[in-house]
Each structure stands twice: as structure tokens, then as C-alpha cells.
Structure 1
Amino acid sequence: MKLITANLINELTHLTEDAIHICWITAFAMKSGVSLILPTLKKAHDRGCEIQLLVGDYLYITQPEALKILLENLPNAEIRMYRSYGKSFHPKAYLFRHQTSQHVIVGSSNLSQSALTSGVEWNLYTVNLETFEKSVEEFHRLFYSIHTIPINKETLKEYEISFSEANKITPLSTKWDDYESTKLMYGVEQSSPVVTEETDSYDIIVPRPAQKLALDALDETIEQGYDKALTVLATGLGKTYLAAFFAKRFNRILFIAHRDEILQQAKKAFKQIHPNKSHGYFNAKEKDIKSEFIFASIFTISQKYHLNKFQKDDFDLIVIDEFHHAVAKTYSRVIDYFTPKFLLGITATPDRLDNQDVYSICDGNVAIQIHFLDAIARKWLSPFHYYGIKDEIDYSQIKWLGNHYDEEELLKEQLQNRVVEKVFNEWIKYKQTKTLAFCSSVKQAKYLCNYFKNKNIKAEVLTGQNSHLERKNIREKFTNGEIEIIFTVDLFNEGVDIPTVDTLLFIRPTESISIFTQQIGRGLRIAEGKTHCVIIDFIGNYRNVDRKLRVFKPTLKPNEPLRIRTVENIPMTDCTLNFDLEAINLLEEMVKRNRTYRQQIIDAYFNLKLELGRRPTYLEMYLKSNVYELNLSREFGSYIGMLYEADELSDSEINVFNRFKDLLHEIEKTAMSKSYKMVVLKSMLERGKQSWYKAITAEKVAPFFQKYLSVKKRNSIDPVDPDIKKVISLIERMPMKKWANSSKGFVTFENKQFQFEIEVPSSMEETLFQWVNEICEYRLHRYFERKAKKLKNKN
């Protein structure tokens, strides 16, 4: 280790020359600083070095011009911005990986001219491998956290607007000269402490009923030719053991998760089912590449340097656990690299309203989904009695920071006497023996704990700040009845269970269906003497509060309003929903004020566009947006109709849309009892933008048609005859003739010639061709997805 007090630029330049992976974290990015370091970064970029840069927006000091220079000159670099919302953000760290060495520089230097040359700065430099690996893993946790966004043309436009507005009020960065201005500053946010809890062990020799159902469903999926699938099992049904049982079909397994404690629990489960296999970790501390079963941190294995340690076909089965947390970039990098025989995603809460990406990872193929209400109906989980109580807090007066409420303003309201007193009184009214209380912050948890203790209640706080010994001690006392209520912050969201918990107290604004479902699952374990779980939920006017309550009505369609009654029994279960009148009035008022379903779709489109940095395709909109059961043809006539209403079409595109709107609607809405129409269209599109719509015969279509439907996962749904003559006859008799008869003149089939009756000006060919392609790809995907689901349900 050495101390650098001057001319850091020399070290950065030297280390960049031979780097194969660069991770820089800085608080600010200024034009002059970027210009100073750009030639060095450009050389590394052009020779294929992997470059990841994270810059903060704190006080809007980062200049848009600096980001624009990086985007234009480093097109293959991955650049993200940390959104601080006024919270201090001052990290400075420079990480380099070489072929045979590694380097970490952490200190005070921004990438400004003075800081890199003559300024008074202290930076520590080490080549310690353990420090480097830990630093890179923590870098990626922050790099892909919910507080960051990708920098691309779309997000840069938005930042330019925010930057301009902020600097009208407090013109900081625009006043600095080139010599003073700061460049790129990246900061590693302190992640929540890793919490490893001891879980109750039990011997499993054969699969439980839920696991047996899931295994059967996975068998059917494989038989149908799929090589990817998602299984959704409610908390408590043993999804990790399901993966372990499923692994018996394969020889070498890669199990991926985002937290080390999940990897530890998975390794324990797999060793129990596969005691004769070798098991090892691939994370910041260990790099086992030889074991038959490897349990890997996504933040470690997704690094290009580490991926290259494996052959693409090293694993027969890849399992991704809890991948409702999956960040598309890290997971897609791993998925795109490996070529396993099967990819299995397992989760308890992949709700599309929270994160559609989890479905796209497995191409939308859900092998089985067992909702916690289904599990309760089957007596696999405990029933519950839910009590919705109106919160005393007015959330409309609390600042919203993009994806969460301002912590200080929220805490100030949460600690008001009237709020705390109502929480206590309602808890006394409905509680049973052992309560988990979910709070927004450690400060809130500690305050409430002290309040309850002053009321002679045996209470404790349990968060990531507690030591392992403290957590173990508190848990034992809780289990033994020496503690009546534990106040916690997210600690019990995943992987931590105390089956005897019989009361849940929600005193935080929970909008996410995934988090809400996870936390409900903490009280649904079956235990001796436990008849049901009580859920006490404080409902305020926080954003989309009605959305989380849809978890109790899983059959509700997305555009159906949520209707709440004072008392309601959930069919097929012993569960009840109870709402006080004030809560009902509040929910009804908020539902009326909520955006229309059409506006939700448009909002989701713009969010996805920002994430991708470009206009998403139709299929990407379906797979990656946060809209459940997307139906654009019903709402807008077509995907292009939605783009038109969202004012996303250029003038030339508007001309194409107006001219061919009815044709696009026809392709979007034509009935499909089979896939045949779209397969014919896909065959025609193979001819290119100038000829796709022109006359074609069934003889010309047949080879493509036969090959396309011969793929196993399609053939199991729409079988195709090996006799080419029969295929030709089928094409003429069904898709060509039927589409021509129903298309109102858009499509004709005469003298064995099938065509679209349109004329396309050369200036419009490219746009129309692209749009028809997107509609065709979407419709084929949706068709086979729906049919596969029906086939599974039928079996």
C-alpha cells in the first residue's frame, strides 16, 4: 500500500494502459476533467477494455456536456448516474483489473485538473486482491442499485433539463473555469450489512406436494421443447429445495443469487439432496471453478473477467434465485454468455406490476405459479385475518424523490404522538402472541420500540445493524415468548423465517407488491398451536396504495378498479379482509384520482425508453414494461397507435401511420386460432422491405413454414406434417384463404397468389417494414406463450 499526494493523473494513465476492466466511481463529471482523462480512456476503450463509470448528480454539479463527451467517445462503455436527491454523495475510487494484477485507489481526488496534478490530495493505493474483489463487488451493487440510471441519449435529455433548472437557481458548475472544474466522481454507497440467519433445518427425502407439482410442470416444459422457465412458489413452499430436486436431471449446476446468505442457504439445501456432489462458492471471497455445483454471486460472476474463466457450455443447468431483483444488465450478461441445457428462474414474487424483466429472462415461459392464496387453500400455509386501518399520516405533504419518500420528512410525520398512539392502540386491539413490525427506517423502529417498552410491552429492534450474536439472542427470546414484538427494517423480507410469528404490523408505506408479498409470507408458516396470522396494515394516501392490495385479488384484471368492502372472505380459504370505513373512503378517493390504464401504459413506455436509451420494440414493451397483461390492440388499435397517442412519432412516421393505420390494425387484430397466419407473414417478411407484401405462393412459403413449426416448443402446440405437399395444401386452405376472406380487402388470395393489396412509396418502405416485423414477432410470441400456458393448465 502507498500514499499518493500529488499527480494522481500519472497513476491513472499508467494503470489504464494495461487494464482489461475499469470501474470508476466519482461524485462529479465536468467537461474539463473529462477532456483531461478522455485520451487515456479512449485508448483503453478502443482496444476492448471493459469500462464502467458511475457519476453523481449531487447539487447538479455534473455537466451534461461532460456526459455527452463520454457517450460520444466511449460508445461501448457503461455509464450510469447516481441520483442523490440532495443527499451528500462524495466518493472517489478508481479500480483497475489487469491480466495478472489488480489495483485500487481510494481517496480525496476528483477528476479535476487541480486534483489530478497540483492540488493537496491524499489517496491510498493498494494491489491487495481481497480488497480489490470486495471493492469491485460493492461497486457493482451500487452501480446497478435502484438509485442509479443508465446514461444514454434519452436520460441525458432529461438530465439537461434538470441541470438547467437547478443552475438557474444556484448556478454552481456553470461558473467554474476549466482549471477548477471537477470531472467524474463515483461513490460506493454503503450497502446494507449482509445478514445471515440460521434457518430451521429439516430433512427432506422426497419433494413436498407443491414441489412435486412444480417438478411435474417443469418436466412438461422440457418435453415441450423449452430451455428456459420461471417457477413462482409462494414463500414457505421450498423453492430452493425445488431447484435442488430439479437438479437431479443435470450433471453440473450454476446457482446464482444476489446475496451471500441466499447462496449459503442454497448450498446447504443442495448438499442435503446431492451429498455426493462437490459444492463451492464463486463470490468476492472464493473463486471455485471446478466443483460440480457452484453457488455464485451475480455481482461477481457477471464481470467479464470472471465469466471468461468458464466455458460457455460448462453448466447443464443454471438456476437464478430471487430474480425479481435481477438487474437486466448483469443477468443478461451471464445468460447471454452461457449455453446451458436449461435456465430456471425461481422466485416467490415476480409481480409484473413491479418488474416485468423477470418474465423476459425466461422468455415469458412460466412453468408454474402458486400464489400464496392457492397455498393457503391447499392447507400448505396458514390462513390470515387482515385489518386495513387508516393511517394518520398525510403522505401528500411529504416530498416524493422519484422512487421513495424523503426520509427525514417521512420520519418526522411517523414520530408524531397521534400517529404512534394509534399504532399502539390498534396493535393492542388485534394482536396475538408474536408480532413482526415492519418499519421504514432504523430510527422509526427504535423510537417505536422505546414507546412500546414504556407501555410495559416486551419489545426489541432487529435490523442489519445488530451483530450476529444479538440477532440470535433476540430470535431465541422471541421464539420462547420472552419478547412480544420485534421492530425490523427489511431484515425479514427474504430467507429469514420464524414459523411461530402470528401477527404482522405494517407501519411503512409499502407500494411494491413484491415486498408486500414477501413480508406477508413471514407470517404464513404453519406452526403448532397457530390457527391463523393477523395482519395489521396502516393504509395511507401514499402513491399507488391500492396497487399493493391487489395481491389479495390475483384474478383482478389490470384495468378493473379495486373494490373494497368492510368485511370480505377470500374464496376457498379461511382468510378474511377487514377495512375500517375511513380506509375504504380513502381508497375509493385514491382510485378515482389514479391514472387511467391507458396513461399507465404510456408512462411505462417512457420509463422503458429511458432505461433502454431508445424506443423499445413491441415485444420489448410486452416483456420488459411494468404493465400486466399488456393489450395495446384493445387500448390503441396497435403498438404504433400507442406511439402516436404518446406523441412519439416523427412527422414522416405520422405520414406512414396515417396511410397504413388500417393495415397495421388488421395485422394486429386478425384472429389467430393457430399460429399459421403470422408464420406466413414472417416468411413473407424474409424477402425484405421492398417485397414482403407482394404476391407469394404456398410452395414458396412451405419450406420456411415447415422449418419454423418443426422447432419442438412450437411443434408441440402447432404440429406440422413432414410431407411438404400436405404443408402446401394446409397453407393454401387455412392461413391464406381464411385471412383473405376476413381481411376486408387488405389481403387477397387468387390463382394461388397470396398478397397484401397495398402500394408502398419507397420513402415509407423501411418504416412500414419495421413496424410489421415488430407486430409479427409480438403476436407469435404471445400466441405460443398463451397456448403453452393452456396446455400446462390442461395437463
Structure 2
Amino acid sequence: MGTSRPLPPGLRDELITTELGQALELLASEQADVSPLDKSEAIERLGKHLLRVARRMRSPSSGDDLVTSAEVVNDAIRALGDEFGGDHLQVPLRVLRGVRSGTGLAGSALPQHPAIPLSASELMVNGAGEPSLGSVLKQELGCADEVDLICAFVGYKGIEALRPDLRALAERGGRIRVITSTYLGSTSRKALDDLVSLGAEVRVNYQGMVTKLHAKAWLFRRPGELDTAFIGSSNLSEAALYTGLEWNVRLARADAPTVFNRIHQVFDSYWNTASFEQYSLADADRLDAALAEARGFAAQGFSRRAQRTIDKLNDQLEAAYARIQVRARPHQQRVLDALATRRGEFDEHQHLIVAATGTGKTVMAALDYAALGAAAGAVRPTLLFVAHREQILAQARETFRQVLQDPGFGELLSGSSGPLPRDAHVFAMVQTLRNRLGSIPPTAYDVIYVDEAHHSTADSWDSVVRHFAPRELVGLTATPERTDGADITDLFGGRYTTELRLWEAVDDQLLAPFEYVGVDDGTDLRDLAWHSGDYAVGALSELYTGDHERVRRIVHAIHRWVEHPGSMRALGFCVTIAHAQFMAEQFTQHGLKADYLVGDHDQTQRDRVLGRLMAGQLQVVFSVDVLGEGIDVPDVDTLLLCRPTQSPVLFAQQLGRGLRLAPGKATCLVLDFIGQHRAEYRFEQRYQALVNPSAGDIRTQAEAGFPFLPAGCSITLERVARERVLTALKRVAVRPGVSGLLKDFKTGTWPSLESFLHRTGRTVEQFYGVDNRKMSWTRLQREAKSADAPAEPSSPSMRDEEVLLLRRASYLQHVADAMRVNRWFDWLKADEPVSAGELSIAEQRLAMQLMHCLLMKPHTLEEGFNKLWRHPAVRDEIAELLTLNRADLDVSPVPLLGLADVSLMAHARYTRAEVFAALGVGTVERPKEHREGVYFVEHSRVQLMFVTLHKDTRKFSSTIQYRDHALTPDLFHWETPNNWRQESRGTQRCIGQGPEGSTHRLLFVRERSSGPVEGTFRCFGLVDRHGDLEGDRPVAITWKLRSPLPEVAFESARLVTAG
């Protein structure tokens, strides 16, 4: 045992040993930051510790020492138990170097071992005295069963160098998969053609300038866990393989098994992503055009060959459109799913879609119309698309034509188009429509889309929209919050149907990445007047206008964070016209050319000012709040947030003005100037626009430095700004207590919990989480002494019983499917308790699910119902919550066909206890207790699989994250418990083999182990085995889902976003 030495200060990450424990005793108690070992990573940590100790063993100098060393290892294995008996080392120690395919003359020669042993890792640099990357790749190809390559650029010379080895691999039945893209136009089409001719499978991302694929990696797959990989700097070119100064790490699975799992999974995830498209020789013309455009030829036209192809297709227009395939990006698909859910589940047919400019609102409308048309059958629904500019109409019609693959679809109706078209599909200017309403029947169009729907409250738009009575009405807008306070939802069902959030659009690469910087502006707003949930505009403007020190701080921040301020194109958002004018004057005095635009400026003045900005004659244009679409300038690369904005919608609108994609624009810099705010100011609301809520609450993400942002994005808070933001976020964590709720409650009249939450900006989860999940709508009404508050029970025991049931009502936040909500709602609103004896088997199981959610554990269902009926306030509370849940339903659950009396639906959420109750496992008094990931229901031969995607929300760890994940909406990668082999009873039963095999398999997946919604399992439905089993201990199985996942479920379960 070594002598304990003082431990230097700094971060550590190691198990505490006897020696380390002695060193810790020399420290003061508060010096050491120690935490218990998390169970989910214990095995990996213990194994690494044992390996670290073993590596310090003395090298054996004789045969006897070898035997002794082997016995030490065998003793350790023996201590693990009999199930590891097959892992004992045989003595004398020998190494298996290969297995031939036959014996004698029929036996095949073994391939040459690579220069680097298959079990070793190394750094390759093409250095003197060491093998080149190209030579080692040849050796790896010679002994691999399969090879995967992901590479930004595939060059012809690189393929030429490896051609014989690739051909040999293909000829012996090996699979070759290649992923690449058109990024920068550097890939050789001839190289891809050669790969395809060799038998390789090639997938290409044609949106190279959007996806920006930089990855370079080879993965060589072999049996016996002898996979190897090369990850580093080398593209597939001759220089990279032999002469370039390259760094590539050669990894062996034996050294880093968890990293290899991650490599396999990420590659397979990319491979199954729709944005990487299968390439064949028939796609050569399309690839040529994409490569030419990526090389910068787009402004001058495509390459000659590509142009000839386009000319030829223009002569055959139908063929040209037939080749166009428009697919929704992932988050666009979530919007389309939401529309379908509201129509199918709720019979709602007036909708408002909120999405930032540039996120493809028209594409979503066209895809939505295509789905409506497919459901309608042979005759397409009649269509009216309304906008206020002819250019928008022409672009919209072209988008619809591409989506529908119909070059003749739709006619324009504008001021210059003459009489009303006879076509049943019309793209019309609102001004022209208004003048012709008298000749158009209200029911003339089945489907109407209103572009820039924020105009709909204006008289010219209002009369048009109200004139028609379509089956489907959909408004599209990027700016739902108008500066005149008008409510645009009035014409579209009274609410936003769905919103494409800013971080989703950036994640989908529909918008440019952002670099957000929070800067202290030196102001103190704590004593500023506060009205209707925000600062008084007049007082705020008076404070800012004339604050020359604040201007100096803003200018200083620009010079610090903008590389070339003289060439930036910036928009600045101000409080009032006076503030915008003041900022423009001050910036000009500081040497930055600036002007301002406000709502009173006409289009000519707007065009002039914005034209000067784009020409580089101005560096900044200031405006008040967010102007309409007239200020939409894709080339804007900097945003100056010179006023506080806590509304997440308005904040997103401001940011959306700078995130449009444009040639040469990599990111948009957002400088947010932060003062010292009142306690009421809510930072967490504005940051909701920037971050994915599934990555954790805003405070946790802020404290960690916002690590989980879309690719290319960053959030930086300067020191003082960070302190202020974190202080405010910590205050928020405390503020929504009982006193905060009471204060908000007394500001208005609330007919329902839904109205209260909507007006105060709270979620259901935030409300019920108050006071350690003891809050309820009933309690709040009583403590606020509301006239509508339900009466309290008369006896102390009844009051105690009611308090407990009201608290448990919050456990129903995940219940939103029609099967449970409708049945439970009917029961709860009945005058008399439900008679359990009159219920069918499926209804009894539904009743058990309700009792289990409320943790009641009555002796019988009858007793449980009687207990609920003693408390009408509890039943009303549950009904109120179920109504809220149902209204926020994000997907349409699907029935499980083939399972009799099972009260489950695919895509709905359940607790474990509910799952078992639905399958008749356990009783109402004793719910089934089971915490493992697999369970076999004997009486119905149903195999249950429970998956938690993120085992530990506090940190990222490859050993516990991503082992189970969705590959595509209908394929799911799942791994058995660690000790299962392919021939194990559990594995065979799971895949339905043998006399004990399962007849049905149900998969349940949750995001994490805690949380009222995310901590419950979403039923992914019935699954079937897809392809072969892979590996042992654990066994990897790919399941085919009978009901493909909706986008919101796929998004949370997939491993990684790719393109």
C-alpha cells in the first residue's frame, strides 16, 4: 500500500480506494466532493478499476508466473458466480489467432493480421517509420466481414487505391456501406459510381451545404467482438491515405466496447435517416447537378451536363415533377401529426400554425393538403390559398405542384389575372378576393389556407375569412403576437393548434444556428413600473432613451463579439419609436452607420432603408418590437436585443428575423442586453424558445452551460449577466409556491383550471408540482376563498382522505387517450358509484388502472368507487385534469389489434402498474411490483419490454445512454439484459421461439425515470423481430413496430439527428 500524498485541488472522477480514502482523511470535510456510485454505471466502473489494477501486475518472467497470473484472474471470475464459468482461462495460456473454413487441402488460408493487433488501439499519423493509413486500411479490409464508411469527401484516387481490396471483400460476400454528401462539391461522382459497381451500398445527402457532413470514419465488423474503427481527419483521397499529415485513431472494440456501441448506433441511425438517400447509377444527373451547385456554380447555372438534363426534363414536364419528392423535415412532421390528431381525435377543423419565417410553412400546408387529398380518394378537395402578394401566391402554387407532383395544379387569382378562375384549386390575393366575394359561394372551397394569418384581424382580411365556410381552415403565421394587441386566434379555433419552435427549426436545419450572448447592460429595472405582467412601456423607454452609458456598453459588446463590425448586417429591437431613433443617432455618433424603421414607415421607405443595410451602407437598423414581413431580410447576421422581452413567442419572433438561411451565412450572433430585473420578470419563459425542454429544466441547463443545443448553436452568458439570470431562475424555482399562485388567482376570475393556467403562463406540471406536489385546483380555490370553491368535508377523517386523494390526482397528468379519458370521465360524472359487477373484463382493467394511478389499493373495485364517490371535489378535480390532458394530446393513439380485453393503446402513456393491470396481472388491492426491464405474462404469453432511454439525467455517459433507441419510425434497436445469450431461455421466449415462446411482444419506452409525464412509459405497441440477432451478453434485437411512431415519439427515442 502506497504512502498517502496530499491531493492537488481540481476535478477528479475515480472510485475511492483504500489509498485514496487515506488521502481524503488529510483534507477538511468540506474540501472533498464525494457522491455515491450510481447503480446504472457501477459495472462499467468496477470493470475499469479491475483492469487498471491488473495492468499494474508484474510481467511474468517464467511459465510458472504465467500460471499464477492466470489463477489470479480465474479466482476473480470464479467469485462472480457459476454463470461465468465459461470465461475461465485454460492453462497453459494460449491465444487463438484464427479459424480456417475447412481442413486439409480444402482448408482456406487465413488472411493476414493487420500490423496493429485486432485487440489494440493506436494513433495513425502517416509518419516516418510507421505504416501509412492506406496500407493499414488494406489489411483491415482483407480480414473484415463488413465495412462501413462515413466520409465528407469521397475521391476517385482514394477509391482507386483501395479498389482491389474492396472488390475482394464484396466477392467473398462482405457488405460495404458508404455515407457521404455533396458538401462543397468535393465528392467524385465517378468514385461513387465505381463503389456501386463493386456492389457497395451508397447513401448521399444532397443538401450538403445544409447538413455540412464533416465526419470521417471507417468501421470494420468481425465476429468474436473483434471490430475495429478508424476515426479522425482523413477523407477518402490519395493524399489522406498515404502522404498527408493526418491524425486518425485506430480503436479496437476490446479497448472501448461502449464507444463501439455508440459508433455502431450512430452510423445505423444516419443510415436509416431519410435525408441520406440511396444512390444508384440512375441518379448520376441529379448528383452532378447537386455537386455543381455546391461548388458555387448556382449563380451561373448548373454544369453544362446538368443544364442539359434540366432542359430535357422541361420538355417532359410531367416526368420532371414525378421525380420531385418533397418530404417533411422531422419537426414539420410533428406539426402535421398535430393537425391530424386535432381533426381525428377532436373533430376540430379550424387551426392556426405558428412557425418562424423560413421554416417551410407553405411546404407544411402543401403536405397537409396532400394528406387530406389522399384521405378523400380520387377527387381532390377544392382549395383556396390566400395571401396578400402575387409573388407569394406564385411560390405557393409551385410548392403545391412539387408536393403533389402535378405541374398543372392550381390557378392564380390576382389583380392582373382577369375573371375568377374556373379551376377548383385557386391561389388568390386577398384584395382581389374581397372585391369578388359576392360571386363566390361560402362553401365553394373545401380547404382554405390563409398565409400571413396575423393580417386576418384587419378589415380586408377579416371579411374574406369570415365569408367562407370550408371543411378545413388553416392559418399560417410567424408573428402571432401583434403590436396592436389584436387576437388572431379568434378566426382559427381560439388557440394555436401547434407551433414549430425555434430550436426545432434550427435542429432541422431549416434556420441558421444561433450564437446567443447575454451581456450586462448596467441598468437597474427593479423599481420600474410593472403593469399587466410586463414593464410599463413609457417608463422603460424613458429609462433607456438618453442612457448614454448603456449605449457605450452595447457598442463595446459589438466590438468584442463581432469580428468585423463594419461589415455586419444587424437588426436592433427597441421599446418605442423614441428609443429606436435615439439608438440610431447614438450608433452613428459611435462610428456605426445606423437608421430606424417603425410601423408608420411606408413600404418605399422600408425598402430604401433595408436596401442600404444589405448594400453595406448601414450596419444596423433599429425597429420597435417586430415589424411585419416587410422587414424579413435573410442576410441579417446580427441581432441586438435592446429591450427586455419575456414572452417566448415574441422573443422567438425577434430571433426569427435573424435566423433565415442565406448563402455564406454560417450563424447569427444574438447580443441580448440584460439588466437587473424585478422579481416578476421571468427569464425561463424566453429561454424556452432556444432550448429543448426534454434536456432538463431551464435552470439546470443554464447552470451546466446549456450543453444540449442544436448543432452549431451556443449560449454564452457573461459573468454578471450569468449571475443575474441564474439568480432569477433560482427565484422562479421558489416563486411558484402557494403564495405565488394565490397572488395570481386574485387578479382575475377563473372559470376553470385551464383558463387560469393559460392566462398565467403555467403548465399543468408546474401547477401540480407546487408545494411538493400537494397543490390542486380545489385547494387553490378554497385558500383564495373563491365563491366557486367546493365545500370541504365535514369530518376530520374525511378531510384527511380528501387531501390524500387530491394530491394523488396529479398522478394522472399522463392520461390523455380517448379509451381511458372518455370512460373515466363518464364514471366520474355519474350520479351513483359504478357497479363493478356490471363491468366487462376490459372495463374492470380500466377501473384498476384508475385505482393504481391514485394509489388507492382498495380491497375491491366496488370499495374504490365508493371511496371516490364520497368526495365529489376529487372527482371534479380529476375530470378537470383529464379535460386539460385531452386538450393537449400530441398524438392519436392506435388500438392494439389481436389482444383481447387489453386496455392499452399504442402511443398512449402508462405507469408500470397500469400496464400490468391492463394485461390482468396483479389485483386492485395488490398491484404487480416489478422493476426489471422484461416480464413475461404467462397466461397470455405476452412479452413485455420496458425501456428507459436516459438512465441518469445529471450527466452524459455512453455506458448508460442510447443502448436502446429508435432507428426509424418503425424500427427499434433493443438490447436484452446483460447476461442473456442468443440461446438463453429469455431470449428465445422473447423472440417467440420454442414451446414457451411469446405470441405477442409489447414495447414500452419512457424518456427518463422521473417526472409526471416523462417518467411514464409510452406504449410503442406490438413489435415483431426484424433481421438476425446480434451479439451475446447482451443480445441486440431490432424490432419492427406494427404501428409506426408519430414524429413526437420518434424524436424523443431516436439516437441522433442527421441532416
- The equivalent residue for 2:846 is 735
- The equivalent residue for 1:792 is 1046
- Cα pair distance change 1:378/1:698, threshold 3 Å: same
Tell me if structure 2 keeps the 8 A contact 1:349–1:517.
no
Amino acid at match of 2:344: G
- The equivalent residue for 1:525 is 660
- The equivalent residue for 2:866 is 757
The reply to whether residue 214 of structure 1 matches residue 329 of structure 2 is: no
Tell me if structure 2 keeps the 8 A contact 1:494–1:518.
no
Pairing 1:421-432 to 2, within 5 Å after superposition: 421-431=552-562, 432=564
Q: Deviations over 1:276-301 (max 9, x none)?
A: 5455699xxx9999985477989x99
Deviation at 1:390, TM superposition (A): 0.6
Amino acid at match of 2:662: A
3-state DSSP of counterpart to 1:505: strand
Amino acid at match of 2:583: L
Distance 2:699 2:728 in 1: 11
Distance 2:593 2:587 in 1: 8
- Cα pair distance change 1:780/1:655, threshold 3 Å: same
Pairing 1:102-141 to 2, within 5 Å after superposition: none
Moved more, 397-406 or 212-221: 212-221
Tell me if structure 2 keeps the 8 A contact 1:255–1:318.
yes
Give me the CA root mean square deviation: 5.3
Moved more, 735-744 or 502-511: 735-744
Q: 1:695 aligns with which of 823, 835, 849?
A: 835
3-state DSSP of counterpart to 1:561: helix
Deviation at 1:682, TM superposition (A): 2.9
Q: 2:620 aligns with which of 474, 478, 485?
A: 485
Q: Deviations over 1:262-317 (max 9, x none)?
A: x76754443444675455699xxx9999985477989x99xxxx999997755422
Tell me if structure 2 keeps the 8 A contact 1:694–1:755.
no
Q: Deviations over 1:24-65 (max 9, x none)?
A: xxxxxxxxxxxxxxxxxxxxxxxxxxxxxxxxxxxxxxxxxx
Aligned length: 537
- Cα pair distance change 1:288/1:441, threshold 3 Å: farther
Distance 2:884 2:411 in 1: 43
Distance 1:441 1:363 in 2: 29
3-state DSSP of counterpart to 1:446: helix
Q: 2:361 aligns with which of 205, 217, 239?
A: 239
Q: 1:516 aligns with which of 640, 643, 651?
A: 651
- The equivalent residue for 1:444 is 579
- The equivalent residue for 2:824 is 681
Amino acid at match of 1:736: A
Q: 1:602 aligns with which of 717, 738, 741?
A: 741
- The equivalent residue for 1:463 is 598
Deviation at 1:568, TM superposition (A): 5.7
Tell me if structure 1 keeps the 8 A contact 2:817–2:886.
no
- The equivalent residue for 1:473 is 608
Amino acid at match of 1:615: W
- The equivalent residue for 1:591 is 729
3-state DSSP of counterpart to 2:516: strand
Tell me if structure 1 keeps the 8 A contact 2:858–2:864.
yes
Q: Deviations over 1:533-573 (max 9, x none)?
A: 22111111343245323433232689653654696665441
Q: Deviations over 1:232-290 (max 9, x none)?
A: 5443122134324533535344667xxx85x76754443444675455699xxx99999
- The equivalent residue for 1:540 is 675
Distance 2:365 2:730 in 1: 43
Distance 1:214 1:243 in 2: 10
- Cα pair distance change 1:567/1:650, threshold 3 Å: closer
Tell me if structure 1 keeps the 8 A contact 2:571–2:638.
yes
- Cα pair distance change 1:621/1:359, threshold 3 Å: farther
TM-score of the two chains, using structure 1 as the length reference: 0.55
Q: Deviations over 1:436-472 (max 9, x none)?
A: 1222222222222222223343322222333322222
Distance 1:638 1:361 in 2: 31
Distance 1:483 1:341 in 2: 48
- Cα pair distance change 1:561/1:669, threshold 3 Å: same
Q: Deviations over 1:97-130 (max 9, x none)?
A: xxxxxxxxxxxxxxxxxxxxxxxxxxxxxxxxxx
- The equivalent residue for 1:410 is 540
Distance 1:364 1:681 in 2: 26
- Cα pair distance change 1:487/1:477, threshold 3 Å: same
Q: Deviations over 1:692-738 (max 9, x none)?
A: x2526546xxxxxxxxxxxxxxxxxxxxxxxxxxxx33223x12355
Same amino acid, percent of matched pairs: 19
Tell me if structure 1 keeps the 8 A contact 2:577–2:623.
yes
The structure number with the bigger radius of gyration is 2
Structure 2: give runs of 5+ residues left out of the alignment.
Answer: 1-300, 302-309, 311-319, 374-379, 402-407, 894-906, 909-1017, 1019-1044, 1051-1059
The reply to whether residue 376 of structure 1 matches residue 506 of structure 2 is: yes
Tell me if structure 1 keeps the 8 A contact 2:811–2:853.
no
3-state DSSP of counterpart to 2:645: coil
Tell me if structure 2 keeps the 8 A contact 1:458–1:485.
yes
Tell me if structure 2 keeps the 8 A contact 1:211–1:238.
no
Amino acid at match of 1:476: G
The reply to whether residue 225 of structure 1 matches residue 225 of structure 2 is: no
- Cα pair distance change 1:784/1:591, threshold 3 Å: closer
Distance 1:694 1:517 in 2: 49
Tell me if structure 2 keeps the 8 A contact 1:391–1:538.
yes
3-state DSSP of counterpart to 2:847: helix
TM-score of the two chains, using structure 2 as the length reference: 0.43
Tell me if structure 2 keeps the 8 A contact 1:511–1:547.
yes
Pairing 1:62-73 to 2, within 5 Å after superposition: none
Tell me if structure 1 keeps the 8 A contact 2:811–2:854.
no
- The equivalent residue for 1:774 is 880
- Cα pair distance change 1:520/1:578, threshold 3 Å: same
